[in-house]
Homo-oligomer: A and B are copies of this chain.
C-alpha cells in the first residue's frame, strides 16, 4: 500500500476535518478496495439521510482523534 498517511499534524482545524474525512473514506477503501463498487454504492448512501448521518459520525470520531493530535490547534 502506497504511503498515504505520514502525519496527523495539520495547519488548521479545517485541514484536520478534511484529514478526518480522508481517514473515514480509507476505512471503507481498505474494506472494499474495488473503486467501481464504491462508486456504485455512492448512489445508495449519498441520497439517504441516515446513511449520510452515519458517514458524518465516522468523520466526527476521526476528527476527535486528529484534533487531539494537534492539541486542538491552540
From B41, B58, B63, A48 is in contact (CB under 8 Å) with: B41
CB distance from A69 to the nearest CB of B (A): 4
- Secondary structure dominating the interface of A: helix
Q: Interface residues of A toward B: which range?
A: 35 or more
Can you name the residue of chain B whose Cβ is closest to the Cβ of A13? B5
* Chain B residues whose CB sits within 8 angstroms of the CB of A7 once the complex forms: 13, 73
Q: Per-position contact with B for A51-67: 1 when CB-CB < 8 Å, else 0?
A: 11111111111111101
Tell me how far the C-beta of A35 lies from the nearest C-beta in chain B, rounded to whole angstroms: 13
Q: Which residues of A contact B (CB under 8 A)?
A: 1, 3-9, 12-14, 17-18, 21, 23-28, 30-32, 37-38, 41-42, 44-65, 67-69, 72-74
